[in-house]
Amino acid sequence: MAAVSDAAGSQAGRARAKLLGPSDVRSLARRLSVRPAKRLGQNFVIDPGTIRRIVAQARLGPDEVVLEVGPGLGSLTLGLLEAARRVIAVEVDPVLAAGLPATVEQRALALAPRLEVINADALTMAAPPGEQPTVLVANLPYNVAVPVLLHLLEAIPSIGRALIMVQAEVADRMCASPGTRTYGVPSVKLAWYGSARRAWTVSRTVFWPAPNVDSAVVAFTRWFCAVANADSAGVSFTRPPPRQPTVSRAAVFAVIDSAFAQRRKTLRSALASLAGSVQAAEAVLRDAGVDPSLRGEALGVAQYIRIAEAAARARTIIES
- What pTM was computed for the model? 0.87
Judge whether 282 and 269 are in contact, CB under 8 Å: no
In a domain, 241, yes or no: no
Supply the range of the domain harboring residue 315: 249-319
pLDDT for 39: 67
| pLDDT attached to residue 15 | 76
Same domain for 212 and 277, yes or no, is: no
Residue 298 DSSP one-character state: G
Q: Please, what is the angle between helix 75-83 and helix 48-58, to 10°? A: 40
Q: What is the DSSP string of 171-237?
A: HHHHHPPTTSTT-SHHHHHHHHHEEEEEEEEE-GGGEESPPSS-EEEEEEEEGGGTTTTHHHHTS--
- Regarding whether 90 and 204 lie in a shared domain, the answer is yes
Closest CA to 215 of 202, 198, 197: 202
Q: What are the C-alpha distances in Å from 240 to residues 79, 143, 146, 218, 244?
A: 31, 30, 22, 19, 10
| 193 in the same domain as 300 | no
Same domain, 284 and 169: no
One domain, residues 152 and 75: yes
Asked whether residue 216 is assigned to any structural domain, the reply reads: yes
List, for residues 199-211, the tens digit of each pLDDT value: 999 999 999 999 8
d(CA 198, CA 217): 6
Residue 215 sits in the same domain as residue 254:
no
Q: What is the pLDDT of residue 133?
A: 97
**Cα distance between residue 133 and residue 112, in whole Å:** 18
pLDDT in tens, 87-128: 999 999 999 999 999 999 999 999 999 999 999 999 999 999
- Number of structural domains the chain divides into: 2
* CATH number, domain containing residue 40: 3.40.50.150
Residues 58-91: pLDDT tens digits? 999 999 999 999 999 999 999 999 999 999 999 9
Residue 147: pLDDT band with limits 50, 70, 90: very high
Mean pLDDT is lowest, of 114-123, 216-225, 229-238, 305-314, for 229-238
